[in-house]
Structure 1
């Protein structure tokens, strides 16, 4: 999830269903289990609806396709940078049965909602190399074990840190725990030029759901358990939220951190205003740019997120590509998705943007690892990443999480009260059939 990348986005209610995505529904899937994809037919011009392409990659990929498909041109439709607004516009398009959007670049947590509402087409599994892709990424594309989107990009949060400053302070390894992170900041402070200690995504939007879920998981708890039941009464959940709350209180997270989304935090890190930054892979290429846009190029490294007693757990993010039920020329749409999600094109995408591919082999490619030393860290992070709460009524759930977490971070509520209220809200959401 990103606000820009996946992470992010919110998913609306699913009618009477209130189950964990991916779990079997008792007696409700007999017709779905035998369903086969409908014919994806028609060749001709299509559109790709996506969030604002801050990477600058997509139009070049479209140009490559368009040059060899003169009668099947793809036009890029850029939606707002905010994932919440992207989702809203995609839903409005579907509810009016408009053919304006053909291919949808969707957040990984939207699959179930879009499929359940009949807004996207089921895809033929045998036309995608799913066995070569990361398991976690593939799981985000299915609804009741049927493929409704193609894995496109995956994502997991990582810890960006100023290696030059840690080296100067005699710190030889990045922090593995939250206490070590705070201790490192105290040692680094004299050489940090007033830089803040830690940043993430703490504005009230989907990024906060990711950061909150990560903190809870990194303390050894879960927002919901394996059965989809809220689990925030666990004392460890409070320890996770307390890390964020107390970090604001003691200045570990600078006051302006409450306004950070992905881009605000990225700019702060690149301007040398943060020692540590929780961020997605896309920041790597931008922060290492040598065109003068980054003050920290060559001065930082990447490590796993820290946790309460050891390495933490990242939130799983990413994007998938789906075909609108109401789009035209779905045959072209399928072929275009296969092109954009091919291993060869995903390698190019990685090289140009540092965004995370879904093919496992690319993480072990010596050429790529040399160019992007963080790839082994990212592969491990993605492999152990925790999905955002897989509640079918996800829109209601993420709104509740954002409201309560933000209240705790801003001091409107105590951590204990915020978690108690969130437990009540999520219990109602999950049980409201």
Structure 2
């Protein structure tokens, strides 16, 4: 891929790519949101004669010192996804209070789904509309928006010395063509949840560290009422991420550092598919019902209900295990993902959310102040304590208050050291939606063989990259 991003593409390829990116956003406009119409020019007014001044007005006024007018606060609009907890609103209120009247942050949730946020930002950015200043970004959005020229780099927002205080993987996911385009806001990565009571009762010294140990323990511990393993396996982004982690665990990858497709090089792609298919259809430790788990919560519910021994789930869901209706309070624990040989932790997928600045913002400096505040150590700690949403700064896990509330904090700290981002290319969204997810669905339902699926997937990815 040309290192110049969109600027290095042919005109035909630019048009093709931008059409694919903007397509979803156009659907929103056609669905009821009208594009803003320019205001009609004001009618030209006829000059009027000024009234004669009164004597009182002519008389000299007593000298007074007019008070200096207070500068109006700079309004910064934040486009973000839905927060069902309501916590972010509280943070926004706190920010506005501490800003001392210099900045007013306008918090705007864009729809119900992550795709709604993406589509709405694309709509305004493609029109060069300054309606958004700060934008929340999932990892795949970062190269997509940067390549289109819709976001500013964040090189001055997070200076080099401060970057050492973040997990390296979170910064890698926010970097495009060697430049940082966003600052990691809150972290997410997978954890391997397990029923410590069942593992102990089964005579095992601890949870599985390798794929073979996972199979052994799950087969022994599952019953007619308790499945061995729960994980997302639906034809969704969450489902393909489950497979990515096994692909990486077998030593493979979708693309190399030069963004050349490597999926069909070697046997890792086929081997990872075969292992998951074996888990589901041969060994039956992973129920076929997992093909319908579209969200992390769908996969986690059986675990919370005491009906699964093991679970692959995002660490942001940890606190749900101890909710009031949970049947596993005090009976679970979490460790890093197992790996092929068990000699190291398995590679997990980076699920960080980040904050960046729209290129069309009229107040980029103040937008940077907002981003620095929300990504600060204090705010990442506050969010973790309030919601259990992991921080992007490892030092937060060492905080005494954090350790007192979350006994598993020390274990989680290492989990985020080995996270991998999905391919950092502006074409990833197109590849995922049009190629990877559909083919993944065909392989997992046995409509095609793993070998056929890997070939179809790799060929489709190359076609998209070539334009």
TM-score, normalised on structure 1?
0.83
- The answer to whether the 8 Å contact 1:176/1:305 transfers is yes
Please say if residues 391 and 397 of structure 1, whose CA atoms lie closer than 8 Å, have aligned partners that are also in contact.
no
* Alignment match of 2:215 (pick from 158, 182, 185): 182
Return the offset for 1:326: 2.9
Residue equivalent to 2:337:
305
Of residues 26, 46, 71 in structure 1, which corresponds to 2:76?
A: 46
Q: Which runs of 5+ in 2 are unaligned?
A: 11-71
Aligned position for 1:385: 419
Partner of 2:263: 232
Quick one: higher RCO (CA 8 Å, sep 6+), 1 or 2?
1
1:72 paired to 2:95: no
User: 1:295–1:422: structure 2 CA closer, same or farther, 3 Å change rule?
Assistant: same
2:149 corresponds to 1:113: no
CA contact (8 A) 2:139 2:421 kept: no
1:91-146 Cα distance to aligned partner (Å, 9 max, x none): 12322333333211101222122112121122343655222112221222222322
Q: How does 1:2-401 map to 2 (within 5 A)?
A: 14=6, 43-69=73-99, 70=101, 72-125=103-156, 127-128=158-159, 129-190=162-223, 194-233=225-264, 234-250=266-282, 251-260=284-293, 261-289=295-323, 292-310=324-342, 311-399=345-433, 400-401=435-436
Given the alignment, which residue of 438, 451, 461 partners 1:403? 438
Shift of 1:17: 5.0
Q: What is the deviation of 1:44? A: 2.0
Size of the aligned set, in residue pairs, is 393
Contact 2:383 2:389 in 1 (8 A): yes
Q: 2:460 aligns with which of 425, 429, 432?
A: 425
Q: Assess if the C-alpha contact under 8 Å between 1:44 and 1:73 holds in 2.
A: yes
Q: Please point out which of 435, 439, 448 is paired with 1:413.
A: 448
* Structure 1 residue ranges without an equivalent (≥5): 1-12, 19-41
Secondary structure at the counterpart of residue 302 of structure 1: strand
RMSD, aligned CA: 2.4
Q: Structure 1 residue runs of 4+, over 6 Å off?
A: none
- Secondary structure of 1:337's aligned partner: helix
How many Å separate the matches in 2 of 1:43 and 1:63?
Answer: 15
Query: Could you tell me how far apart the structure 2 residues matched to 1:319 and 1:165 are?
Result: 34
